[in-house]
Amino acid sequence: MKLTGFEVHDVALGLEALEPGFGIDQLLVVCRSGEQWIMPEGSQPSSSRADGFRWYDTGQEHIITSATFRRCGYRDGYDTYDDSPTRGCDTNSIDGCWGGSSVWGMLTHSDEFNPEVMQATKDITYEDCGRRFKLADFANDELSSVSGRIQNWLDIDGSASGLNEPTIIGSGLADAGKWWRVEDGVVEDPEGPLTFIKIDNGPDRGLGHIRMEFDEELHATVGETACFNGSKGTEEDPLCPAIGRIRHMGPLFDLSNDETGGLPITAQSEVAGPVGGFSWLMQLDSGSPKRLRIRQIEVDPATPLVLALPYPEDTSFTITANAFSWCSTTSTTHSCSEEFISVDSLAKVRYSQGNTYFFDTTTNLLYVRIIMAPEAYTGDSLYSSTPEWRLWNFDDPNTVSWHARTHAIDRFEFSSIILPRAAYGGYLQIEAACNEGDQDSKYCPMSGDYDIQGIEVCPSGYSQVAYDKCCVPSSDPEECYDFTKPPTSAPTPPPTYDPSSDLIINGGFEDGLSPWYINTGNDDQIEIVENEVNSGTKAVLIKDRVSSWNGVQQNIDPSRVEHGATYRVSGYAKIKGDVASDSFKLTFRITTDVPSSSTHYWKNFGDCAVTNTEWTKCEGDIALDSPGSIITGLQLYSEGTATTDYYVDDVSAILVS
């Protein structure tokens, strides 16, 4: 849902959304206008909130831009950002408000349901407001929650935090340790409490989220006997106790500098936090998992997320990325799993395509880079003749038509802001074979004298000053080590084309199917033939068709075309079988920045009569002039009357105007 223009006055809550993919621009919330509130008998305005916006706690993507909040938030005791005597509201009987009111509220009562990377803001204005931030925990226990400790927010321009530069907003709860306090330069907000991290203070800062599975019996207790959506117990009897800790790599985050040991890991083993650092280092009380599945990954490919785990020195590993279970293992254009390869340094993992691992035998630490991959496949043939894995970016197109997504890795975009959207089907799996301990155990135990403290991340002459920075001590101006930047995301960059060249690659099928594929997702319906061709030595047969749109399809890089351009599209077709004549056409499926009700637009040159006795050339001019100004996705596919099998050869699409 996307809204433009929403205004409310004299309200308890300006807006709240329970909607995956919600964006709003030009929002005005006036919590108290100065008008007297007329209340039912026995009621007072001070029993009513004066909240601006409340973030939900899980499974959402919310983006707010160009928003103004006026006279929201409780006044007394909250003057961190504004000490005006008229700011916000108090408990007066004319237009007062409840003492727990705040401009922003974040639901943090739950150990069971927790935030991913799901909220962002830009161009936020406060006018005469009181309390700005609140971690809203209605359970009101003495313990904090998982959702409270991993609360996060992308403040794109720093206008929400007041820093006026790109900012990561994270939890300020004390028992999160230094998980969000990643350097001395963070700004701590006492009202939330929250922590503000300046993005430009480091090279590749961003937010990431993962959900881990390693002990089915333990995880099954969540919401049943542990880790509830509300009550959290007491310090003496916690209902969601820590089973381990995760922290940033380096001496700055050792026990000597963070006595908590890092962010608690619980039976609800979900983590969100700052990425782009040296790595996330996780240590479970029972040892590292023999089988660890990582799901619901959300991370920008430009901000590396590396996970480190300790294992006994003789441990061997099998690490794979796996697509959703309905991925076709017989496909020639897409793969369903990717086995990671071992490399000899952490740098080769961090700057990899996300399919390598390194086991450091000097520290007994396993390093794996975690990236977002498509849900429906782990490799495609967009840039190669066979399916290949790569470091996908948010602009890569989805290359299977039967999966209803425009892009390979899912996201929500609004007002030029992108939030990652987790794939719930695919997962990364680490299988560790260790000899230590009980062979029936789910964990690989470390020896009693193993010490995970004091692991250096900086080269000689430099000291760690942040989770992602090494600098020369006392240097002025600051002199910091420049780590090598990651390579481009595609292993083989796509070729460049002359604007007048053919949009279609391998139009004569002489190189086999790639990059063509069947748009039904059933590879048994398509095959290369050599006994029936229009020219050359090969053509393609589309068979066992059940719908008119069943055909051979190719993805076209949108950067190669211009909106409004006209292309002469042609191809040769011939019917297979006893049907003497039928219709055939070639169709563009177009995605623009102005989506239709069905997401795509279709343009073709109309029906062309073809026969079973000879090849027929079908040709026509097609203008890519669908609504919008930018083409974000483009495919060309063949279609014809349902159930008729046909051959196709020599397809082309040439710019004419």
Tell me: pLDDT of 129 over 90: yes
- Cβ atoms within 10 Å of 657's Cβ, excluding its own: 9
Q: What average pLDDT does range 497-524 have in this prediction?
A: 81
Confidence bin at 500 (pLDDT 50/70/90): low
Confidence bin at 599 (pLDDT 50/70/90): low
Q: H or E stretch including 367?
A: strand 365-369
Tell me: pLDDT of 271 over 90: yes
- Cβ atoms within 10 Å of 342's Cβ, excluding its own: 13
- Cβ atoms within 10 Å of 544's Cβ, excluding its own: 12
Tell me: pLDDT of 355 over 80: yes
Tell me: pLDDT of 487 over 70: no
Can you give the pLDDT at residue 496? 47
Closest by CA position to 319, among listed 334, 301, 335, 339? 339
Can you give the pLDDT at residue 282? 97
Can you give the pLDDT at residue 493? 47
Tell me: pLDDT of 122 over 50: yes
Can you give the pLDDT at residue 485? 55
Most confident option among 225-239, 442-456, 596-610: 225-239
Tell me: pLDDT of 597 over 70: no
Cβ neighbours for 132, distance < 8 A, ≥ 6 positions apart: 73, 78, 80, 81, 102, 103, 104, 126, 189, 191
Tell me: pLDDT of 103 over 90: yes
What share of the chain in percent tops pLDDT 70? 96
On the question of a cis peptide bond just before residue 193, with omega within 30 degrees of 0, the verdict is yes
The structure tokens listed for 186 are 């963070």
Can you give the pLDDT at residue 495? 46
Listed range (472-476, 481-485, 571-575) with the worst mean pLDDT? 481-485
Confidence bin at 595 (pLDDT 50/70/90): low
Can you give the pLDDT at residue 628? 74
Confidence bin at 484 (pLDDT 50/70/90): low
Can you give the pLDDT at residue 547? 86
Can you give the pLDDT at residue 221? 97
CA angle (369 as vertex; 446, 120 as ends), nearest 5:
115
Give all domains of the chain, ordered by start, each with its CATH number. 2-429 (no CATH), 517-655 (2.60.120.260)
Listed range (136-145, 172-181, 230-239, 332-341) with the worst mean pLDDT? 136-145
Can you give the pLDDT at residue 488? 45
Can you give the pLDDT at residue 207? 98
On the question of a cis peptide bond just before residue 477, with omega within 30 degrees of 0, the verdict is yes
Listed range (72-76, 98-102, 381-385) with the worst mean pLDDT? 381-385
Can you give the pLDDT at residue 424? 85
Confidence bin at 39 (pLDDT 50/70/90): very high
Confidence bin at 598 (pLDDT 50/70/90): very low
Can you give the pLDDT at residue 490? 46
Residue with tokens 């922590």: 195
Q: Following CA atoms 634, 640, 641, 642 in sequence, which dihedral angle do they give, to the nearest 10 degrees?
A: -60
- Where residue 137 falls (left for φ over 0; alpha for ψ -120 to 50; beta otherwise) is beta
Can you give the pLDDT at residue 256? 93
Q: What average pLDDT does range 412-432 have in this prediction?
A: 94
Closest by CA position to 622, among listed 599, 634, 604, 637? 604
Q: What is the pLDDT of residues 627-654, one digit of tens each?
A: 777 788 889 999 988 789 999 999 999 9
Confidence bin at 310 (pLDDT 50/70/90): very high
Closest by CA position to 135, among listed 109, 95, 176, 106? 106
Tell me: pLDDT of 66 over 90: yes
Check residues 285 and 495 and name the one with the higher pLDDT. Answer: 285
Residue pair 647/611 in contact (Cβ under 8 Å)? The answer is no
Mean pLDDT across the chain:
91
What share of the chain in percent tops pLDDT 90? 74
Q: What average pLDDT does range 344-359 have in this prediction?
A: 94
Q: What is the pLDDT of residues 141-197, one digit of tens each?
A: 889 999 999 999 999 999 999 999 999 999 999 999 999 999 999 999 999 999 999
CB burial of 363-392 (b: ≥16 within 10 Å; e: otherwise) equals bbbbbbbbbbbbbbbbbbbbbeeebbbbbb
